[in-house]
Structure 1
Amino acid sequence: MAFATRLLQALRHHWRHYLTEAGGLMAFLTVSSTAAVLFHHPDSAVARALGPHEWMQRVGVGLVVGGLIAALAYSPWGKRSGAHFNPAVTLGFWQLGHIRTADALWYGLAQVAGALAAGFGMRWLLAPWLGHHLIHYNTTEPLDAPHGWALALGAEMLISAVLMLGLLWALHSPTRKKWAGALAGGLLAVFIVVESPLSGMSLNPARTVGAAAAAGRGPGLWLYVVGPLLAMWATAEAFRRWRAGRPVGERPPVYPDPTA
């Protein structure tokens, strides 16, 4: 069967799952952009209440975004698609055989489309607050310093690898599997608080592309695409090799899940 035919058949049968992935990215970028304005803009009552402590503002953003990701993962829609909401996560699961090639391609396209729609939509809705220099349209950029790009690339690869490893550790255990959504949300919250000063904390190529396209600027955009994709793919492959010859144990379903 020609691959184009498989793509069309996948679209015909699983388009609802792809819409879920697009909607997840739209929700993620919409909520994170709104939270950035609320917690960082100097005219925001929330930012003024927290005072000049930037780490407190990051804690606020982290709690909101982490809570959103956990809620999406446990929602009926998230359970239907597997709640990837990230092309790098999809690539890692594809490497492990947990998602078919045609579905993985549609997932990636849907995720980028959702991020682009949310990026331009939030620029229109939140202008001019989103363009403030403390928020810069919710884009992720490397530090303006010598070797800032290398620091950002290394940081993005590290947090991407940690997230993928955490997901695989949880999803391949019958006892830990139910905590995978909470783990993902908690890790994102921690990354926002701890790692975002180094790279802006993306670990999601679609999220970064959507914000950068809407802002009309994307310095170092390549590292926010290559870093997470490479790190999550390599982590998944290392996990596959480590498990080779070991008892299979719990195996996540192949997504999209037709029973969800």
Structure 2
Amino acid sequence: MATVFTLVHWGIGSTPPDASANEMRLRVAAVSILVGLIIVGFATSPPGRFSGAHMNPAITLGMFAAGHLPARRVLPYLAAQTAGSIAAAALLRVAWGPSVSEGPARWAVVQPGPGWTGAHVSAAEAMTLLIIVGLMCWMTTCRPRWRAAWVVGGLFGLQGALLGTTTGGSANPARQLGPALFSGELGLLAVYLVAPVAGGVLAGWAAHRLRQARNVRRPGAEGRHPAAADRRDLRPNSQVAPIRREAYDRDTPLRHPQIPSRWSPSAAIDSGDPGDAGSRSRRGARRAGMFGTDVRDRPHLAWGAEVER
């Protein structure tokens, strides 16, 4: 947080009074990109991996509302974020002297642009965290092959570059708390504290309800891992019966929970087709040997046949 305040102090606070609007936008965009890279660097560093890289109370409460964060970790995270913001603002004063209380970005406090009221800032801040936390919940549940640190850091950098000259581009209650207390700019402090949290909690609550509704439509999914709850329900039914097959070498049994009875690699081998079916069976036997002979709990290890719902 102290690094972020330093970037704001030297990147925006050093802007000359006669600077044009385009110059100010460029400075804000450059600082926002650097802030996004700082988020990525901390999230991928050993301390970030160890702590969970929670630097934003809105994300902490949003992930708790989504059911992805245990309650015992919420208060320690919030206390550390609050103390870190205040300590970083004090460290800024110690490091750079009286100059931090001068200029357009004194104490690195966030201020809205001309014509932007508290209602406008509230809507923008809440919508920003609604999108970011919603995407984080989706990534936690569906686990795409994305680098989450780069996605989240890029989104925060993008929102700062787009909204920095209008709403201030805070999107983090902890980022505004310390500078506002030291600078005395308390007019919109409640807006910057409450609006991001409201957007994050709303996104987390909506993600939690959607996951519950999806689990209700899929009997047996409740109580499983979120990623496993999204897989197909592979329980036997009247249309698809479990088939017990022998591996190609007839030594290792390979059980598959359900494969349509219209096809089986064993039948293809017995019918005199030693080609593709045999190679598929050998590959399947080796694959089953890696994870055990029972793949009922691992639908992604299924054979190439289409599994009916």
Q: TM-score range by the shorter chain?
A: 0.7 to 0.9
Question: Percent identity of the aligned residues?
Answer: 27
Note the alpha carbon deviations across 1:146-189, whole angstroms, 9 max, x for none.
x611111111111111111221222223333x511001110111
1:239 and 2:207 aligned: yes
SS of structure 2 residue aligned to 1:244 = helix
Residue 104 of structure 2, aligned match among 134, 143, 156: 134
Mapping of 1:74-223 within 5 angstroms? 74-143=44-113, 145=115, 148-176=117-145, 178-223=146-191
Give the Å deviation of 1:250: 6.3
Question: In structure 1, what is the Cα distance between the partners aligned to 2:188 and 2:96?
Answer: 24
| Residue pair 2:15, 2:24 contacting (<8 A) in 1 also | no
CA radius of gyration, larger in? 2
1:53 and 2:23 aligned: yes
1:30 corresponding residue in structure 2: 2
2:227 corresponding residue in structure 1: 249
Question: In structure 2, what is the Cα distance between the partners aligned to 1:71 and 1:250?
Answer: 30
Give the Å deviation of 1:74: 1.0
Structure 2 unaligned segments of length 5 or more: list them. Answer: 216-225, 230-309
Q: Quick one: which amino acid aligns to residue 154 of structure 2?
A: G
Question: In structure 1, what is the Cα distance between the partners aligned to 2:26 and 2:207?
Answer: 35
Give the Å deviation of 1:51: 10
Q: TM-score if structure 2 supplies the norm length?
A: 0.64
**CA 1:30 to 1:171, structure 2 compared with 1: closer, same or farther past 3 Å?**
same
| Residue pair 1:94, 1:104 contacting (<8 A) in 2 also | yes
Question: In structure 2, what is the Cα distance between the partners aligned to 1:55 and 1:250?
Answer: 45
Computed over aligned residues only, the root mean square deviation of the Cα atoms, in angstroms, reads 2.4
Note the alpha carbon deviations across 1:63-111, whole angstroms, 9 max, x for none.
2110000011111221122212111111111112222223201110111
| Residue pair 1:173, 1:250 contacting (<8 A) in 2 also | no
Structure 1 unaligned segments of length 5 or more: list them. Answer: 1-28, 252-260
Q: Quick one: which amino acid aligns to residue 139 of structure 2?
A: A
1:11 corresponding residue in structure 2: none
Question: In structure 2, what is the Cα distance between the partners aligned to 1:244 and 1:222?
Answer: 33
SS of structure 2 residue aligned to 1:97 = coil
Q: TM-score if structure 1 supplies the norm length?
A: 0.76
**CA 1:162 to 1:221, structure 2 compared with 1: closer, same or farther past 3 Å?**
same
| Residue pair 2:64, 2:71 contacting (<8 A) in 1 also | yes
Question: In structure 1, what is the Cα distance between the partners aligned to 2:51 and 2:157?
Answer: 22
Q: Which has the higher helix share?
A: 1
SS of structure 1 residue aligned to 2:142 = coil
| Residue pair 1:151, 1:198 contacting (<8 A) in 2 also | no
**Between Structure 1 and Structure 2, how many residues are aligned?**
217
Q: Quick one: which amino acid aligns to residue 163 of structure 2?
A: E
Q: Quick one: which amino acid aligns to residue 148 of structure 2?
A: A
| Residue pair 1:67, 1:185 contacting (<8 A) in 2 also | yes
Shift >6 Å, 4+ stretches: none
SS of structure 2 residue aligned to 1:128 = helix
| Residue pair 2:25, 2:165 contacting (<8 A) in 1 also | no
Q: Which has the higher contact order (CA 8 A, sep 6+)?
A: 1
**CA 1:250 to 1:179, structure 2 compared with 1: closer, same or farther past 3 Å?**
farther
**CA 1:42 to 1:84, structure 2 compared with 1: closer, same or farther past 3 Å?**
closer
**CA 1:51 to 1:39, structure 2 compared with 1: closer, same or farther past 3 Å?**
farther
